[in-house]
């Protein structure tokens, strides 16, 4: 059993580490002041003069970066760092997000790159270090982000000169943390934990790097599972190849009953996992990780967490801050964001057109918030756009698969990037393919197809309905009426479901696909003249609370819905329909808002 101090240190490491589900102590942040300039496509940054400075990881378009430019399609960065790895060790350089294409040099050597603005990458820079010539090294990063390329997955970044309607300011270049990690040559490369049932059966997959051929009998992996300091299981396996896979049963009446280990929104219990790689009797590497014993299924019209129907009370999370844009201003701000969502009475959120910061997901894991994860959308349907969206999905599943809070993948939002999905088979096939890919990569979570309207396939049907008439909402989503609503209602002149209405009704009745009102509400409180007028409007805090209460009451657990997602958490530029102002101050007393959200929406 670990001491309290050790447990506290471990919890602190996992909360602050950029990669909280696989953490080693001693990592080094490279965030802070960098040299900066702008370049041109395909240039050699060695030829440039770095005559400005920037605060990383804030994008150059943000005030927090110290620049605040309107557009920066070719940002260039330079800084020095120190690294003097022990013999036989490697230095990994991690980037949590560079939008969109990145090229990286260390000491003048091109060490690699990455395409994709919303997913992390790591480069082994060991061979580029100047061994024996001191431990100070020069790092240069070149990013390329075409502001008007509609084939790029841009999420809610505007491609017009100025933000308008529901689109926000652009966020180019480095926009998430950069960090260094010294690792042994023989090391743990990744871990994956998959809960298989509600009896505590967990599948583990541990990938190794640097394992020599013919290693049989010399290397082993030990995984230790604990909860609140109580040992649940310890398993030791021989490492004969680059991956070690196993199943383990956690919890029994003699140690901790399984009902006291399951992760739920009400009781978000986390299982600590410590993994050691042993070589010739000595510990070669060890990492800290964690998991949650949580299953999720869509069945008989409900979303079931650990086989218990759970009514979803989600909020649309845009994750945008006034001074730092899509980059959180601090770790504390990320954790405060999750706490605000919980304090308002929501049991989850839809991360809208953004990849979540993994440290935010750690906070959601601790608080019991259920997360739907959108893929950021391109605006055109082309082979290139589809290829980039597919890569995003594959990389995000690999990054976030260990977070119990994450319960659903959303490959497409409405018809973004698939504008003719209602009538073009090729675009329908894209929806089917990405939904199937999500289920193939991650069969233990829900996967939607396209959320909002023109539904093609998915574990859940997501509907966007911004009616502000509670009586109409109530009539549309009555248990016996909801199939007809899906068949005949046309918000924005678009069908809710692609397919013959009569067949649809039978399918819903037979299969019981849950329906979630995945965007609704959208109330602006006395918004200014610059606000987009696409939502309802009230003129006082008390009127806001009344409107929220009335709309939520119309679509609660007694309806035919499996849940809803309120639009949205915060005001964001001209989209001023949040429950809070941009600085996260609630627009009405938080207790009143919480009562409006929860009292008529109890499962």
**All structural domains of the chain with their residue ranges:** 4-10+185-291, 31-182, 296-516+562-568
Query: Which own/partner contact pairs does 189-192 have at CB distance under 8 Å and 24+ positions apart?
Result: 190/22, 190/398, 191/21, 191/22, 191/273, 191/275, 191/287, 191/289, 191/402, 192/401, 192/402
Neighbours of 31 (CB within 10 A): 16
Q: Pick the closest to residue 105 from 144, 77, 134, 145 (CA basis).
A: 77
Q: Which of the four pLDDT bands, split at 50, 70 and 90, describes residue 557?
A: very high
Tokens matching residue 337: 């964001």
Question: What is the mean predicted confidence (pLDDT) over 350-377?
Answer: 98
Residue 215 is predicted with a pLDDT of: 62
Question: What is the mean predicted confidence (pLDDT) over 18-42?
Answer: 96
Q: How far apart are CA 229 and CA 274, in angstroms?
A: 12
The yes/no answer on whether domain 296-516+562-568 falls in CATH 3.20.20.80 is yes
332 by DSSP, 3-state: which? helix
Strand duo 178-184 + 187-195: pairing: unpaired
Q: Which of the four pLDDT bands, split at 50, 70 and 90, describes residue 504?
A: low
- What is the percentage of the chain residues whose pLDDT exceeds 70? 95
pLDDT tens, residue by residue, 450-493: 999 999 999 999 999 999 999 999 999 999 888 888 888 888 78
Using the predicted structure, report yes or no on whether residue 26 has a pLDDT greater than 80. yes
- SS3 sequence, 520-540? EECEEECCCCCCCCCCEEECC
Residue 3 is predicted with a pLDDT of: 44
**Beta-sheet strand order (sheet of 563-567):** 446-447, 406-410, 370-374, 348-351, 312-317, 563-567, 515-521, 461-464
Q: How far apart are CA 575 and CA 570, in angstroms?
A: 9
4-10+185-291 and 296-516+562-568, same CATH topology: no
Q: How far apart are CA 405 and CA 294, in angstroms?
A: 9
Q: Which of the four pLDDT bands, split at 50, 70 and 90, describes residue 108?
A: very high
In this structure, are residues 258 and 295 in contact, taking their beta carbons and an 8 Å threshold?
A: no
- C-alpha distances (whole Å) from 492 to each of 423, 489, 495, 571 are 16, 10, 9, 23
Q: Which of the four pLDDT bands, split at 50, 70 and 90, describes residue 508?
A: low
Q: How far apart are CA 247 and CA 203, in angstroms?
A: 4
Residue 1 is predicted with a pLDDT of: 36
Q: How far apart are CA 117 and CA 100, in angstroms?
A: 4
- SS3 sequence, 342-396? HHCCCCEEEECCCCCCHHHHHHHHHHCCEEEEECCCCCCCCHHHHHHHHHHHHHH
Tokens matching residue 443: 């069969």
Q: Which of the four pLDDT bands, split at 50, 70 and 90, describes residue 253?
A: low
Q: How far apart are CA 197 and CA 193, in angstroms?
A: 13
- C-alpha distances (whole Å) from 156 to each of 51, 246, 377 are 31, 41, 8
Residues pairing with 408 in the sheet = 372, 446
The yes/no answer on whether domain 4-10+185-291 falls in CATH 2.60.40.10 is yes
Q: Which of the four pLDDT bands, split at 50, 70 and 90, describes residue 70?
A: very high
Q: Which of the four pLDDT bands, split at 50, 70 and 90, describes residue 534?
A: confident
DSSP string, 244-308: EEEEEE---TTS--GGGTBB-SSSB--EEEEEEEEETTEEEEEEEEEE-B--EEEETTEEEETTE
| Residue 513 C-beta-side C-alpha neighbours within 13 Å | 23
pLDDT tens, residue by residue, 154-209: 999 999 988 889 999 999 999 999 999 999 999 999 999 999 999 999 999 999 99
In this structure, are residues 45 and 39 in contact, taking their beta carbons and an 8 Å threshold?
A: yes
In this structure, are residues 220 and 236 in contact, taking their beta carbons and an 8 Å threshold?
A: yes
Arithmetic mean of pLDDT over the chain: 93
Using the predicted structure, report yes or no on whether residue 216 has a pLDDT greater than 90. no
Neighbours of 41 (CB within 10 A): 10
- What is the percentage of the chain residues whose pLDDT exceeds 90? 84
Residue 52 is predicted with a pLDDT of: 98
- What is the phi-psi region of residue 134: left when phi exceeds 0, alpha when psi lies from -120 to 50, beta otherwise? left
Q: Which of the four pLDDT bands, split at 50, 70 and 90, describes residue 509?
A: low
- SS3 sequence, 551-564? HHHHCCCCCCCCEE
Which CATH code for domain 31-182?
Answer: 2.60.120.260
Using the predicted structure, report yes or no on whether residue 306 has a pLDDT greater than 50. yes
- C-alpha distances (whole Å) from 345 to each of 241, 267, 319, 569, 586 are 47, 15, 18, 12, 13
In this structure, are residues 92 and 183 in contact, taking their beta carbons and an 8 Å threshold?
A: yes
Q: How far apart are CA 405 and CA 370, in angstroms?
A: 5
Using the predicted structure, report yes or no on whether residue 600 has a pLDDT greater than 80. no
Using the predicted structure, report yes or no on whether residue 313 has a pLDDT greater than 50. yes
Tokens matching residue 396: 């995000």
Residue 133 is predicted with a pLDDT of: 60
Q: How far apart are CA 510 and CA 82, in angstroms?
A: 63
The structure's pTM equals 0.95
N- to C-terminal Cα separation, the chain: 38
More confident residue, 542 or 530: 542
Residue 417 is predicted with a pLDDT of: 96
Q: Pick the closest to residue 351 from 327, 371, 322 (CA basis).
A: 371
Q: How far apart are CA 322 and CA 320, in angstroms?
A: 7
């Amino acid at each position: 059993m670990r001491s309290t101090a050790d447990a506290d240190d471990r919890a602190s490491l996992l909360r602050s580490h950029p990669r909280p589900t696989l953490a080693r102590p001693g990592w080094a942040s490279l965030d802070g002041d960098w040299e900066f300039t702008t370049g041109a496509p395909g240039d050699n940054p060695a030829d440039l003069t770095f005559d400005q400075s920037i605060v990383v990881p804030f994008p150059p378009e943000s005030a927090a970066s110290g620049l605040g430019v309107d557009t920066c399609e070719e940002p260039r960065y330079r800084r020095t760092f120190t690294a003097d790895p022990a013999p036989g060790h490697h230095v990994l350089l991690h980037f949590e997000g560079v939008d969109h294409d990145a090229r990286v040099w260390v000491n003048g050597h091109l060490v690699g790159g990455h395409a994709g603005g919303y997913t992390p990458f790591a480069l082994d820079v060991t061979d580029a270090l100047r061994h024996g010539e001191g431990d100070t090294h020069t790092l240069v990063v070149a990013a390329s982000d075409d502001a008007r390329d509609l084939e790029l997955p841009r999420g809610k970044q505007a491609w017009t000169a100025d933000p308008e309607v529901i689109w926000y300011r652009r966020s180019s270049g480095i926009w998430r943390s950069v960090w260094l990690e010294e690792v042994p040559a023989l090391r743990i490369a990744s871990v994956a934990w998959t809960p298989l049932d509600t009896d505590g059966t967990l599948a583990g997959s541990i990938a190794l790097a640097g394992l020599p051929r013919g290693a049989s009998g010399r290397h082993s992996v030990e995984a230790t599972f604990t909860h609140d300091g109580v040992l649940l299981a310890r398993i030791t396996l021989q490492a004969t190849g680059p991956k070690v896979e196993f199943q383990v049963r956690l919890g029994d009446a003699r140690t901790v009953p399984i009902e006291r280990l399951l992760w739920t929104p009400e009781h978000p219990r986390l299982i600590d996992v410590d993994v050691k790689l042993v070589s010739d009797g000595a510990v070669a590497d060890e990492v800290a990780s964690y998991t949650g014993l949580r299953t999720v299924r869509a069945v008989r019209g409900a979303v079931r967490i650990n086989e218990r129907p759970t009514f979803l009370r989600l909020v649309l999370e845009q994750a945008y801050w006034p001074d730092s844009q899509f980059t959180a201003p601090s770790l504390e701000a990320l954790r405060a964001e999750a706490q605000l969502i919980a304090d308002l009475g929501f049991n989850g959120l839809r991360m809208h057109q953004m990849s979540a910061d993994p440290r935010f997901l750690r906070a959601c894991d601790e608080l019991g918030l259920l997360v739907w994860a959108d893929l950021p959308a391109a605006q055109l349907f082309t082979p290139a756009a589809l290829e980039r969206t597919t890569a995003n999905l594959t990389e995000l599943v690999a990054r976030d698969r260990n977070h119990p809070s994450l319960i659903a993948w959303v490959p497409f939002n409405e018809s973004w990037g698939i504008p003719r999905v209602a009538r073009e088979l090729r675009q329908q096939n894209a929806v089917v393919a990405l939904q199937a890919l999500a289920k193939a990569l991650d069969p233990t979570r829900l996967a939607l197809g396209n959320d909002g309207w023109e539904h093609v396939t998915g574990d859940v049907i997501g509907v966007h309905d911004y009616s502000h008439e509670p009586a109409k909402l109530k009539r549309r989503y009555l248990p016996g009426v909801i199939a007809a609503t899906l068949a005949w209602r046309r918000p924005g002149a678009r069908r809710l479901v692609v397919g013959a209405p009569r067949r649809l009704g039978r399918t819903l009745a037979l299969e019981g696909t849950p329906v979630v009102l995945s965007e609704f509400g959208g109330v602006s409180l006395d918004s200014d003249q610059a606000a987009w007028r696409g939502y309802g409007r009230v003129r006082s805090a008390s009127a806001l609370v009344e409107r929220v209460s009335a709309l939520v009451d119309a679509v609660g657990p007694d309806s035919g819905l499996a849940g809803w997602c309120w639009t949205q958490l915060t005001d964001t530029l001209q989209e001023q329909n949040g429950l809070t102002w941009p600085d996260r101050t609630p627009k009405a007393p938080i207790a009143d808002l919480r009562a409006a959200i929860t009292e008529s929406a109890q499962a």
